[in-house]
Amino acid sequence: MRVFRAPRVTAISMFLVANLAVLPASAERLPQDWLSSMGAAVQSTSYEGTVILIQDGSAEELMVVHTVRDGVVREKMVAHEGNVLEIIRNGNVVHFILPDRQSVLVEEWDDQSTLFSTLPTSKVRFGSEYDVSIVRTGRVAGREAIELAIRPHDEFRYGHRIWLDTETSFPLQTQLIDNGQPIEQIKFADIKLNSEIHSSALEPSVSIENFTWLRQSSGHEGTRVETTWKCGALPAGFRAIDSHAEKMQGSDDVVTHILYSDGLANVSVFIAPESGGLSTGPARVGGSNSFSTASGGFEITAIGEVPSVTVKQIATSMQKP
């Protein structure tokens, strides 16, 4: 049992008490104002530091260098634990460098942030599906931060905790919350914001001249289409925001991809002609859940960073009129 003792009044504690009068100045801003400025900060801030990723009870340390010049993202991430991996990003072209295997895998990404792709956007309906509030101030990575809590109204979505740098609104720490407990976390152990980053800091740490180069195809070609597929039991707040017909590489089958979103949580639904090789039921990696089922000659899979009940309800209630 933990015993709490009344603190002694010392010069240090008096200093902290005196400075509490300064802290509410940053808290006078509304939570929505903080989130709006956070979105701008993620898009424009250059930074370098050490990031701790915690998922499924394991932690991984990454060295990150990130800059935005003329609207183009350039980034380098290095993982030193396990199999050494370097990720070099220049715009939407990403190189995965595996020194142990002397190989480079090239992929194309979209414009989403590497670390912060699940942060809220202006489309979140606070007061309807979520509440947002300022919790407290504190320090993360040696910098003054303000903590925001985003709490869902039902069991169909996760909560979030976000610690924003009070000077720049940059996210220093994020947590994905399920039933009051963090299930994923991104936290800077140290960080330099808006410091000058030399181009050499974004180059590979090893010579890759004689490495084997592999280009990873996206595996499909997508065409935006209207679809008659509907979800008969879509959780409140979610709505279809995009639908594509995707022809998979090496196959004549066309997969329908529907994206549902509530502005914060996203669920992708993939619908394909039944092949007989689908593993039905739930699956989970970190905070991402999926559920697959077969119905009416089709294979249906719903996947997203949402609770398992959400993907199961969406997948099992998809209907084609």
User: Which pTM does this prediction carry?
Assistant: 0.81
Q: Which amino acid is at 189?
A: A
Q: Cα separations (Å) of 77 from 53, 74, 101, 205?
A: 12, 10, 18, 11
Residue-by-residue pLDDT tens, the chain, 321 positions? 333 333 333 333 333 333 433 444 455 788 989 998 998 898 889 999 999 999 878 888 999 999 988 888 899 999 877 667 899 999 888 999 998 889 999 988 766 667 887 788 766 778 889 999 999 999 999 999 999 999 999 999 999 999 999 999 999 999 999 998 999 999 999 999 998 898 899 999 889 988 999 886 554 455 777 788 999 999 999 999 988 887 665 566 788 999 999 989 999 999 998 887 788 899 998 889 999 999 889 999 999 999 999 999 999 999 987
Question: CB under 8 Å to 237, separation ≥6 — which residues?
Answer: 125, 128, 129, 157, 262, 263
Residue 139 CB: number of other CB atoms within 10 A?
10
Residue 49 half-sphere exposure, CB side, CA atoms within 13 Å? Answer: 24
Paired tokens of 86: 């370097």
Cα gap 272→252, rounded to integer Å:
11
Residue 183's nearest CA partner among 81, 308, 68, 293 is: 308
Cα gap 256→273, rounded to integer Å:
10
